[in-house]
Structure formats: structure tokens, C-alpha cells
Chains A and B, each alone.
Chain A
Amino acid sequence: MTTVERAAASAATSGSPVLAVRDLSVSFRTESGTVSAVDRVSLDLAAGEIVGMVGESGCGKSVTAMSIAGLLPDSARVTGSVRLEGAELVDARESVLRRVRGKEIAYIFQEPMTSLNPVLTVGRQIGEVLQVHERMSRKAARARAVELLSLVGIPSAATRVDTYPHQLSGGMRQRVMIAMAVACGPKVLVADEPTTALDVTVQAGILQVLRDLRDRLGTTILVITHDLGVIADIADRVVVMYAGRVVERAPVIDLFAQPRHRYTAGLLAASPTPGRHAGTERLQEIPGLVPVLSAQPDACTFADRCPAADERCRQAVPPLDAVGAAVTDHLAACWHPCPAPRPQPQETTG
């Protein structure tokens, strides 16, 4: 069984999700007024699944991720609900959140160097997590740190444990971050652009580590990225965000084969993929710009850039609904979804 099939099967059989996000909205107070960053986002993460969240800069994907464990600054206003195995996290006390962070929900970010302490060895930094959350002795924590480093594919972990972050390559540092993140066996790992700062040959290894964590430890992973290639590689299910809203949600194969929201379709058609060359075809452009919203309008936020938009799109927010009667796990928030199926890209090239 492939990972996709396994995840699909587990999603179908498992009951309640590990993490349930309902109507999550986030706005920020800024000097030039309020900015709405996330608007009524709902999302379930089933145990052991890898969900990819994709969108362009400013779509609200990172803000959504940060709000899950209450990592946003005080200028953010968060409403809605985030439940971790039933326990509400929005408006939870700081002491509760502190216990959740690291132990239940762990994060890795784009730039590992800024998240690591340059004056402590990697072993001390991983050990610190275990000493705080698991009350391990320093010696036990160090031994566990070595295990974790080999788990994330760092060769000769027993000696690497005593190195400082600057002595490691970017890929190795990201592996250290992952080791630190999974030290306490979190239920959910949020990976925000985990490979964006890395070269492709290194990226492939990091994505493999994330897959291994899911397969071996059953970690539920939310991968946030702007890179459709990363999504195609690792995600079981995909959430597409645009201007603060979820516009489409589907199993990964369906999303790429039959994008239903016009924005998703536009994003795929804009990406250079293998076999496409300027001599024989043009990339499809999405005219216009992503709007910066002070308030969420009662309309589709993509309408101004959409080839299919009409009056209805400008007067009412399209609900995130199932598209097509037969499929229930493919949702799109569009009044005029793309007809399915889309022609396969490899057939259109010469």
C-alpha cells in the first residue's frame, strides 16, 4: 500500500481528528488600521496524516499555523476554535499553552540558524527540551539526543551531538531542528516552509525525514509551503489558501488532477512543469494582485482576478462545499468551479 492509500484508509477509519480547527479568524491591529489575515478557516488533521497547506505570500498560511499553538503577538486578534484532541487552545491560559508547545504541538521553521542557539552544542539544545518537558536528567537527555539525531538521519550522531550549530550545514541544522521538535513525541508537527532555504538535493533528504517520522512514530504533520512540488511529494491531503481563506481542500492526487477552484487551477497552470518550454507554450498568468484586506468582504476575494467571475461572486462568499455528488472529500469555495477533469499536462506538450 502506498503512503497515500494508507493515509486515505486511516482517514476513513479513524474517528475524531487529532487537531480540529473551526472558523479560525485572525486580524492584526497595525498603524494603518486593521488587517484581516485569516478568515473562518476550518481544518481537521487526522492521526498520522500529512496535510499540505499551500498558498502565495500573504495568503495567511503561516498566520494560521502560528495561531494553532498561540504563537502570534499581542497585536493579533484570534477568534474561533482550535481543539487538540478535544481540548480548546484558543484563549487557553499561557501555562496550558506552554505545556502544549513542544510536548504536544511542535514547530519547525524555514531558517534553522535563527532558531538555534549559536553558543550551545546541539546536544545541549535538544537535551534542554527533554529536561524541561520530560524532567530527564542531563545524562539521560544527552543519550536521548544522540538517538534523536540518528533518527533524523545525522551520520555519526554520537560525535555530532557535541558540535555547535555553525559547524553544521543548512540541511544538518534543519535535521537538528526536527530532532528537537520531535524530542517529546509531539502529536502534531507544524513544518512552516521547512525546506525553502535549502538546496533541492538537501530538501529531498529533509522531506524523507518527515515521511519517516509519520511512518515510524505516527506523527501528524502540517506542512506549510508555497512550493507545489513539495506538496506533490509529501502531502496526503492539501489545503489551498487565498487571501486568508481556504479556497479548496482535497486529497493530493485529486487536487492536481482536477483542481476545481479557479485559483488552484490558475496556480497549477502558472507553474513550469517538466516538458513545458517557451518555444511551444506559454505559462498561464493570473492577472492582478493578491488583495490586502482591512475587512473580509461579503464576496469571493479572488473575483477580481478570476476569468469566470460574475455578479454573484461579488455579492456573496462562496461556501467551502463538496464539488460533485460522488466525492465528499474534495471541497471548493467557488460559485463556478472548473469543470472536471482537466486535460493531463503531459499530453499537451510536444
Chain B
Amino acid sequence: MTPQPNALELADLVMHFGPVRAVDGVSLTIPTGRVTALVGESGSGKSTVGRCVVRLEKPTAGTVRIAGTDVTGLTRRQLRRHRGDVSIVFQDPAGSLDPRMLVGEIVAEPLRLSGARLSRRDRATRVTEELGRVGLRAEVARRYPHELSGGQRQRVSIARALISEPKLLIADEPTSALDVSVQASVLNLLADLQRDIGFACLFITHDLSAVEYLADDIAVMYLGQLVEQGPRERIFARPAHPYTQALLAAAPVADPVRQRQRQPVLLGDDLPSALDPPSGCRFRTRCPLAFDRCATEVPAEVAFGGGMAACHLVQPDGTRPDVRAADPSEVLS
């Protein structure tokens, strides 16, 4: 038996928009059936990575392998055969569903484009099945997107994404536009579907609590590059990179007793520009622990504990710095 190929392999992915270095050398592997969260703040390039994977953008350099096939150099026509292997769900379902199409047509569209010869009736059956799987009644197929609530619309996007039975789902902030109560139902749905169907998922988000709920592995992005990667438990329990530590410390937890016992890590507000990223380590301008070497030498990825961190202060045995050890007055200066 040959081992199953990884659902996604990114090698040194680069995406520059003119002078803007949105993604600058990202390597990431998602094994079959695993959920990897790509975490970062606005402008980190995390959405651009997702858009490169589904080829909404043509990468400047690097390779994208989906389910074992290198799709980087394929033409649009060649790509069509592999379109069914990967789907994407966006943040704003109102903006990503065509308002002039019926829900049934929206969900069936990937089948039509795949070139699969299905009778009208078979197609309708598949749409009904898919709507049922995301918890929508069959009648919804005859409605327009504007007649649905935000949560229902996001379910329609998920049904459309999954009807081609992709090996990889890109979920780009799928719950960020939704209220807490609706967000819970969409997160539950994604977790159920992922477990039952077994697709791999690249879950792109800035919401760390959703990450902890849904992800198996976590990759942290800062200014176009990955700074840390590893299993969820390790990242949340022992974050190694100073940026990961600051990010986790900054996200407030919905528990006032615990929240008020936590020691905040305050970074400066001024994010460097992706037009002219800092030399050496890109985080050094906001890092409380930065020292001379950080400005001159790009930190190598140090592999440890099933992941890596790109920081001069992290050792292969897992020894890591602690941003809280820094003098707070230095942090703000």
C-alpha cells in the first residue's frame, strides 16, 4: 500500500504584489484529514496564502502541491481537472454568493464546472444531499441568498465547497462576520463535517479561541512569513516564538477571573510595512527581547517538538525565551 499523499504541500511560496511582499517564503504541509490553522493579524499575508492555494492568485515563486499534484505551473485548462480537489469558503457569505442565482444553482455549480455528466435529476439529488449535510432543508435550494440569514448563507457556501468532495478545504475567516451564537453552530458544523468526511482543512483566522476549538496543528504568520508551527496542544501550552507568546497573551479569554490574573504583554502599535520589512527578523521592531543579532541575521527555522520556530532564542531542545521576562518599560519605548 502506498502512503496517501499530503493534502497540501507548500514549498517556499512567494507572492509579491508589485513592491508589496505579501507572502515571502512560506513552507507548510497539511497531511490528509488534518486541520491546520493559519493564524496571524491583518496584513500578515494569511489570506493571500489561501488564495494562492486555490489559484485565485498565481504565486510569484515556490510550489503548491495539492493531493500529490504540483499545480503551480498548470494552465487554467490543465488546472480544471484538479479544481475539485480543493475548495474555499470566505468570510463574508453575502459577498461570495451570486445574488442572482438560486441557492440550488450555487451549490450545483462546482458539479457543472467539473464536467461530470450528471442528469438534471441526479444533480438535484446531490444538491439536496449536500444541503442536508450542512443542516439546511431541501426547499432552501429554491431561495435566493438574500432571503437567508448570515449563518444560513455560510452553510450554503460550505455546501458549495464540499459538493465536489475536495481533499482540502480552505476556510478563510469563515466565522468572523457571524454573531457568537451563530458562530458556534458553524464551528460545530465544520468540526462534524471534517470528522465525518475526513477532508484536510486550512483554517485561516485571527480568532485564537476558534483555532483552539477546531485545529490540530497551528502555523503562525507575521509579515509574510511563518514564525512558528506545531501541534495545537504544544503551541497553546508552550508557545516558543516571542510573537506567538505575545499573540496568545493579548487575546482576552472570556473568563474575568483568569483574564485579570494574566500578565499582559504590550507590543508597540506600529506594524512595519510589507513594502519594506525590517532586516533580519521581521518581528524585531516590536519584539521586547530583540538584540543586535536580530537586526543582522534572518533567524533560521529551528525544528523541535514536531514543529519549528524561527527565532535566534529558540534551541533545538525546545528551550525558548519568555517575552514576559522583558522589562516592561523597554517594551513600550
Contact = CB atoms under 8 A, between A and B. Distances in A.
Physical interaction between A and B: yes
A272 B209 CA distance: 5
A277 B213 contact: yes
Contacts of B42: 199
A277 to B, nearest CB: 6
Contacts of B187: 272, 278, 283
Nearest to B233: A277
A252 B256 contact: yes
A33 interface: no
Interface in B95-146: none
Contacts of A231: 254, 256
Interface in A176-231: 199-205, 207-208, 226-231
Contact of A232 (B212, B252, B268): B252
B295 interface: no
Contacts of B269: 169-172, 175, 202, 205
Contacts of B279: none
B181 A345 contact: no
A285 B182 CA distance: 7
Interface residues of A, number: 54
Interface residues of B, number: 47
B236 A274 contact: yes
B252 A229 contact: yes
B267 A282 contact: no
Contacts of A120: none
A256 B258 CA distance: 11
A232 B256 contact: yes
B191 interface: yes
Given A226-B179, A233-B259, A284 B250 contact: no
A197 to B, nearest CB: 9
Contact of A345 (B195, B247, B251, B255): B255
B4 interface: no
Nearest to B190: A278
A274 B236 CA distance: 9
A232 B185 contact: no
A270 B255 contact: no
A253 interface: yes
Nearest to B195: A278
B260 interface: yes
A277 B206 contact: no
Interface string B293-324: 00000000000000000000000000000000
A205 B265 CA distance: 9
Contact of A272 (B185, B213, B247, B267): B213
B256 A256 contact: yes
Nearest to A267: B180
A329 to B, nearest CB: 15
Nearest to B243: A201
A92 interface: no
A275 B232 CA distance: 11
Contacts of A232: 252-256, 259
Contacts of B184: 270-272, 283-286
Contacts of B213: 272, 276-278, 283
B151 to A, nearest CB: 8
Contacts of A274: 209, 212, 236, 253, 255, 258
A126 B223 CA distance: 32
Contact of B181 (A170, A208, A286): A286
Nearest to A234: B252
Nearest to A276: B213
B1 interface: no
A153 B267 contact: no
Given A274-B212, A276-B209, 20 more contacts: A57-B179, A200-B252, A201-B250, A204-B266, A205-B269, A208-B264, A228-B254, A229-B253, A233-B252, A253-B256, A268-B254, A270-B181, A270-B183, A271-B209, A272-B187, A272-B209, A272-B212, A282-B188, A284-B184, A285-B185
13 contacts: A201-B286, A204-B266, A208-B264, A229-B252, A232-B252, A233-B256, A256-B255, A273-B254, A274-B212, A276-B212, A282-B191, A283-B185, A284-B184
